[in-house]
Structure 1
């Protein structure tokens, strides 16, 4: 979670502890003060403000270390490079799944009334829309309007939907986990869980796939397991048995059968805990620095993904994994700074990673990076001289070109990763065919990308501080944003908001003034045709 030098700081602290026995009492008190100060800095309770001319002795700092304006998203000075995507199977599969078609004749402009007419007259096979056609019909109606469903007095860190979308969890710096019932589209708080053994804040939470339990982590040796169903509350501390020193699990994930917990920690290790045996069953030394992100590749729960502050994504196969000699199946290199989050597409082939180098990368696990790419990433990460937790983004980060040996399919730029481990996700398969990638942003927005073009389709503005977590409802067209301004935002599509600034008629009241206005009016009429009550769908 820390800067690229956090591993070196830990080594220095370990060295200091070894030397404590040889120091006098006066020296011991100085060490205690340094330890306390280190803790305050690492936890974010104390910030070091760097002087503008701190690096004046460097030769070309005036250009390289110039910072972007505060609360401004970095804008790349080059268009998205889609050459890697054009050569991959990902593009063709995505076009078919999202209803765009794989042939030129199928890419014509969608006309909703025409599609509805064909269905009603029996011209649609099976007299119902296919999944890809439903996703295509839904594509123009991305969420655009925010409703604040909850406000807290502290920073909100995590917010996720359950797999069926009927429950929403939020975790806040006030050490409370709130459980909301969302079955009817409304947010009704049904439970308040007081978290235990919290250092600074709850940093991650996860649902069990069966919906019976949740887990959460913080700066603690234990990950805590709580029940979500039943008359009495259960609260178990799961000891991951780390080595001596301060310990934190930054990222958590449940296996598909809800019996195993995967965690990535600040000691550079991956942990697997078996809830049935009530014991840690695996610990591997995975990264050279903090492990900020972990994920299971698919429902088999045999393939693991991990990402850390060393800038590398690693792929692990549990069937060939040994604690004594942990060797990843492959390594994905291309980021120039630490990784903050990983999300799997769920097919054991593709994943995305969010990074402090201000970009998201799309990966194919069948195309691992060569050794030269891994070394290029290590050099780029070790050369970073800024701290994302309280400094602004240096302009040189935005100008960073593709590293040698980068095997990613696509790079998405336009959001800002600062202050905390900001999350990104694929959009849901049911309603969007995973056509989009969406991410939180340090300037208080939710950014939605088109996976095939790399372009920003929408920026949802409405928060006053960093949006750390985002969660798209698995079936409804709703996005939840969890922000450090202490609020939960619910984003839905509303026609009035979409056309509030474009429904202007001509001054004499005779109608739309331009061809563009007439086109907008036509699109608006198409959307009104598709308006429906909550429980009725034209797409069924």
Structure 2
């Protein structure tokens, strides 16, 4: 084995054996030499690390692109690409699998911080919203802006999209500090007016479409989660309660039956949004163990997708990501690695991979067990 320049005499470097290139595709076992010194007592200390994904390493750092806090990051629907937005007004694009590189960087997309983003479900567009009140659509095939809408008066906190109707029209929902929920049609290039608008009278912190695209769940500063009926253009009388402080984000389970809502009280609630929920309070689980901190940050949670939504994850001010088992409410993982508040979490659509974005300007990709964790 060759020695690196500057290696002291009698001391050899560590060795990592990779899986053979002709081995079958899929997760591998990596053999890692913990010590390979000349001391006979230290030789041959080998540990087998079982790989559970196709990442190039169990943990991959995505750093160096942004000069500001990362506020949102998401996998595209295929899981092949990642997009992240930041307070530096830029969007970075990354490849998930080797070589995991930053292949695109969109500069000055907004005039101020970019607060949220979503990949289009029907085209090659990326949707972003910002503190400048703008909703911007960017064509990723050319890297140019395809549409700009002055959607709100002030900060837009949340963005979600869905496909509605037999025609497959893509609808966008936005919510902002001006207290409005607004619905937009992606293909309606000739108009800049929303399809629907509702004034909640207090800042809207989060929006999330129902599975059938007929309702929008809306988290607001009044600690409630409201349900807007798009067909009737009005709110349901029933809202989802249980929070003692503002919900910071909303995320629908893969089967469309449950809604995840972290909050500024450090309490995370899973609501039962089925038409005939057995519990009249509609509270399915109350999860604890994550710290929201004192920054009033809009922490974004997520559901696992490779296992049909058996797990949920939320980042915290303690610089870790907490992952729970949904049915038992048990904490499966407390994942460290960041040096600042973890603002955003997303799960890969096909593999047990979690993506995290932080105020430390970086993202991490980490693989977890496909079944129950630790």
Tell me what 2:29 maps to.
Answer: none
Tell me what 2:83 maps to.
Answer: 169
Tell me what 2:239 maps to.
Answer: 331
The answer on 1:481 being equivalent to 2:356 is: yes
Q: 2:180 aligns with which of 236, 257, 269?
A: 269
The answer on 1:210 being equivalent to 2:122 is: yes
Equivalent runs, 1:171-320 vs 2, <5 Å:
171-182=85-96, 184-199=97-112, 201-229=113-141, 231=142, 233-240=144-151, 242=152, 246-256=153-163, 257=168, 259-278=170-189, 279-298=192-211, 300-320=212-232
Conserved? CA contact 1:427–1:472, under 8 Å = yes
The answer on 1:460 being equivalent to 2:335 is: yes
Conserved? CA contact 1:342–1:353, under 8 Å = yes
- TM-score, normalisation: structure 1: 0.53
SS of 2:231 mapped into structure 1: helix
- TM-score, normalisation: structure 2: 0.76
The answer on 1:342 being equivalent to 2:217 is: no
Q: Give, in whole Å, the separation in 2 of the partners of 1:493 and 1:409.
A: 25
Q: Give, in whole Å, the separation in 2 of the partners of 1:169 and 1:203.
A: 13
The answer on 1:442 being equivalent to 2:350 is: no
Tell me what 2:63 maps to.
Answer: 150
Tell me what 2:31 maps to.
Answer: none
SS of 1:409 mapped into structure 2: strand
Which structure has the larger Rg over C-alpha atoms?
A: 1
Q: 1:159 aligns with which of 73, 83, 88?
A: 73
For residues 178-200 of structure 1, the C-alpha deviation after alignment (integer angstroms, 9 at most, x for no partner) is 11123x3442222211234423x
Q: Give, in whole Å, the separation in 1 of the partners of 2:68 and 2:116.
A: 16
Query: Structure 1 residues 163, 362: closer, same or farther in 2, change over 3 A?
Result: same
Q: Give, in whole Å, the separation in 2 of the partners of 1:332 and 1:344.
A: 14
Give the alignment's Cα RMSD to 1 decimal. Answer: 2.7
SS of 1:236 mapped into structure 2: strand
Conserved? CA contact 2:116–2:157, under 8 Å = yes
Q: What is the CA-CA distance between 1:313 and the residue it aligns to?
A: 0.8
Q: What is the CA-CA distance between 1:159 and the residue it aligns to?
A: 1.0
Tell me what 1:518 maps to.
Answer: none
Tell me what 2:24 maps to.
Answer: none
Q: 2:301 aligns with which of 413, 424, 429?
A: 424
Q: Give, in whole Å, the separation in 1 of the partners of 2:157 and 2:355.
A: 21
Tell me what 2:40 maps to.
Answer: none
Q: Give, in whole Å, the separation in 2 of the partners of 1:435 and 1:348.
A: 13
Q: Give, in whole Å, the separation in 2 of the partners of 1:161 and 1:363.
A: 24
Q: What is the CA-CA distance between 1:234 and the residue it aligns to?
A: 3.0
Q: Give, in whole Å, the separation in 2 of the partners of 1:234 and 1:354.
A: 33
Equivalent runs, 1:326-405 vs 2, <5 Å:
326-328=234-236, 330-366=238-274
Conserved? CA contact 1:481–1:488, under 8 Å = yes
For residues 215-246 of structure 1, the C-alpha deviation after alignment (integer angstroms, 9 at most, x for no partner) is 111122321110112x4623421122x4xxx5
The answer on 1:469 being equivalent to 2:331 is: no
Q: What is the CA-CA distance between 1:435 and the residue it aligns to?
A: 0.5
For residues 44-103 of structure 1, the C-alpha deviation after alignment (integer angstroms, 9 at most, x for no partner) is xxxxxxxxxxxxxxxxxxxxxxxxxxxxxxxxxxxxxxxxxxxxxxxxxxxxxxxxxxxx
SS of 2:92 mapped into structure 1: strand
Q: Give, in whole Å, the separation in 2 of the partners of 1:452 and 1:286.
A: 36
| Farther off after superposition, 451-460 or 186-195 | 186-195
Conserved? CA contact 2:303–2:346, under 8 Å = no
Conserved? CA contact 1:162–1:211, under 8 Å = no
How many corresponding residue pairs?
A: 308
User: Where do 5+ consecutive residues of structure 2 fail to align?
Assistant: 1-50
Q: What is the CA-CA distance between 1:465 and the residue it aligns to?
A: 0.6
For residues 411-435 of structure 1, the C-alpha deviation after alignment (integer angstroms, 9 at most, x for no partner) is 000001132100111111xx22211
SS of 1:289 mapped into structure 2: coil
Q: What is the CA-CA distance between 1:274 and the residue it aligns to?
A: 1.7
Query: Structure 1 residues 248, 274: closer, same or farther in 2, change over 3 A?
Result: same
Q: Kindly indicate which of the two structures has a greater share of residues assigned to helix.
A: 1
- RCO higher in structure (CA 8 A, sep ≥6): 1
